[in-house]
Structure 1
Amino acid sequence: MSSIFDGLRDVTVLSITVRMVLAVICGGIIGIEREYKRRPAGFRTHILICLGAAMTTLTSQFLYLNLHYYTDMARLGAQVVAGMGFIGAGTIIVTRRQRVKGLTTAAGLWTAAIVGLALGGGFYEGGIAATVLILLAELLFSKLEYRMLENAPEVNLYMEYSGKPCLERVLKLYRERELKVLNMEITRPTESETHNACAIFTLRLNRRCSLEVLLANMHAIPGVVSVEEL
Structure 2
Amino acid sequence: MLSVFDSLRDVNMVSITVRMVLAVLCGGIIGIEREYKRRPAGFRTHILICLGAAMTTLTSQFLYLQMHYYTDMARLGAQVVAGVGFIGAGTIIVTQRQRVKGLTTAAGLWASAIIGLAIGGGFYEGALFATFLIILAELLFSKLEYRMLENAPEINLYMEYTDRSCLEQVLKLYREKNVKVLNMEITRATGSEHHNACAIFSLRLHKKCKVEPLLDAIHCVEGVAAVEEL
Please, what TM-score do these two structures have when normalized by structure 2?
Answer: 0.98
Please tell me the residue identity of whatever aligns with 1:53.
A
Q: CA deviation at 1:190?
A: 1.4
Counterpart of 2:78 in structure 1 is 78
Counterpart of 1:160 in structure 2 is 160
Q: CA deviation at 1:165?
A: 1.2
Q: Supply the distance in 2 between the matched residues of 1:50 and 1:208 (Cα, whole angstroms).
A: 46
Please tell me the residue identity of whatever aligns with 2:11.
V
RMSD: 0.9
The answer as to whether partners of 2:154 and 2:204 remain within 8 angstroms in 1 is: yes
Structure 2, unmatched stretches of 5+, are none
Q: Supply the distance in 2 between the matched residues of 1:191 and 1:108 (Cα, whole angstroms).
A: 44
For residue 175 of structure 1, give the secondary structure of its aligned residue in structure 2: helix
For residue 110 of structure 1, give the secondary structure of its aligned residue in structure 2: helix
Q: CA deviation at 1:191?
A: 3.3
Q: 1:65 aligned to 2:50?
A: no
Deviations 1:65-94 (A, max 9, x none): 100011110000000000011100000011
For residue 96 of structure 2, give the secondary structure of its aligned residue in structure 1: coil
Counterpart of 1:120 in structure 2 is 120
Counterpart of 2:110 in structure 1 is 110
- Per mean C-alpha deviation after superposition, the further-off stretch among 121-130 and 170-179 is 170-179
Q: CA deviation at 1:208?
A: 3.5
For residue 131 of structure 2, give the secondary structure of its aligned residue in structure 1: helix
Q: 1:199 aligned to 2:199?
A: yes
Q: 1:225 aligned to 2:225?
A: yes
Counterpart of 2:149 in structure 1 is 149
Q: Supply the distance in 2 between the matched residues of 1:29 and 1:21 (Cα, whole angstroms).
A: 12
Please tell me the residue identity of whatever aligns with 2:166.
C
Counterpart of 1:31 in structure 2 is 31
| Alignment: residue pair count | 230
For residue 225 of structure 2, give the secondary structure of its aligned residue in structure 1: strand
Q: Supply the distance in 1 between the matched residues of 2:37 and 2:212 (Cα, whole angstroms).
A: 24
Please tell me the residue identity of whatever aligns with 1:8.
L
Deviations 1:16-73 (A, max 9, x none): 0000000000000000000001111000000000000000000000001100011110
* Over 3 Å off, 4+ runs: none
The answer as to whether partners of 2:150 and 2:210 remain within 8 angstroms in 1 is: no
Deviations 1:84-118 (A, max 9, x none): 11100000011111111000000000000000000
Counterpart of 1:91 in structure 2 is 91
For residue 152 of structure 1, give the secondary structure of its aligned residue in structure 2: coil
- State the identity %: 80
Structure 1, unmatched stretches of 5+, are none
- Per mean C-alpha deviation after superposition, the further-off stretch among 117-126 and 202-211 is 202-211
For residue 187 of structure 1, give the secondary structure of its aligned residue in structure 2: strand
